Amino acid sequence: MDIKKSRDVAEKATVNHPHPPLIHNAAAVLPFAEEWRQQYGPLYVFSIGKMQVLYVNKPELVKEITTCTSLDMGRPSYQQKVFGPLLGKGILPSNGSIWARQRKIIAPELFMEKVKGMMSIITESGLALVDSWKQKVESEEGGVVEIGVDQRMKRFSGDIISRACFGSSYSKGQEIFLKFDHLQEIMSKRTLSALGNPGLRHLPTKRNRKIWALEKEISALILKVVKERRQAGYERICSRHFLKVQRVAILPRLQSISSSLTTAETYIWLDSTSAVSASWCLMLLASNPEWQTRVRDEVEEVCQGRIPDIDMLLAYADSRNNAPIPSGANPGKGGVQRREDRCLEFNPKRFENGISGACKSPNAYMPFGFGQRVCVGQHLAMVELKLLMALILTNFSFTLSPNYVHSPVMKTIIEPKHGVQIMVKKL
């Protein structure tokens, strides 16, 4: 009840404020965690129903947890149970030998050398997005147009993943992505009740029936596409298109797991996380015009009017873990917590010496995790993001729209509840 009460208070504060300030602290997203941290300190245990959760917000202890090499020290078991329709038995919620086997198969296909081979796909999708924005701006009287970037970022990221996994354009996989978004939205609303009362997810409620139906529909759609690719003789496809993963990893899982496709993780976390990150980047640059100008100048210095390639992106990047945890406890690291108000200031310059040099503790900020469970898709995500930002910044200037309402909300990831709208002008 304390969690629900805190969320309700935070929600009302946003609703009652016509233009909420651009605050980026934990209280705006996880108000209960911030309240309890102030009351109980950086290490405490709380319960959601019968589930005990160990909250950890000590960088040195987080390092110990994330660098632990024991296969028994993995993701909380509830993730696979509660988010099963979304994540299946994929690499994100899995533990032990299942996780080790999946990572061994998937990780090599997302090494930087393989990502380099995907640059043509990423560039093609990025240029298509830029062209669509240009057409929209040119068709508007005055040369300035409002664009909702969150859905467009999802299309961009979805196009890349769809082409990479199946060699198809986003239009062919659009239905799959839309259903995933719908499923994610429905499941985000039942998270707390499902955690506290695990039996609820098995009851044939209206929401559960919708979740089950979407899960089956998504499974059927992906299986249909895979069968079409196999029948068309696409088993031998170069790894540049990421389809070695389809042949080695996706197909066997589809054949052995019918109700819980492990490919769900690939779709959600390589699509949704990249898209949401891009949306937040554009929001921050739109609300900080001085930094937008500085970043644009740096991009132009590196690219010199050319379309960015992998060498440019890498050149730009180069120039700029003994406390026992009880069995059954679920360690939760405070990834959105900050201790000082000045940390909330938007100041990209703090990253000029890399992520580890941006914080007093190298483990205080871990956008892709740390240790053996570091995100396997980080290289692809960063290349996507850098190329997209470079293309947008060299073609457009933008500011926040008056219609933008800052309301970050925790779903499976932190998303803009009301989307991100910016006013775009062609350079």
Binding positions are: 375
Spatial strand order of the sheet with 43-48 comes to 43-48, 51-56, 330-333
CA 4 to chain centre: 24
Interior CA angle at 25 toward 370 and 43, to 5°? 55
d(CA 415, CA 107): 26
Beta bridge partners of 426: 396
Give exposure, 262-300, as e/b (b: 16+ Cβ within 10 Å).
Answer: bbbbbbbbbbbbbbbbbbbbbbbbbbbeeebeebbeebe
Do the bridges between strand 51-56 and strand 330-333 make them parallel or antiparallel, or are there none, so unpaired?
parallel
* Residue 14 buriedness (CB in 10 A; 0-12 / 13-18 / 19+): middle
In one-letter notation, the amino acid at residue 340 is E
| Residues near 221 by beta carbon (within 8 Å), at least 6 away in sequence | 175, 176, 179
Nearest partner of 71 among 41, 50, 39, 99, judged by Cα: 99
Sign of CA dihedral 321, 322, 328, 333: negative
Sequence ranges of the binding site for heme: 375
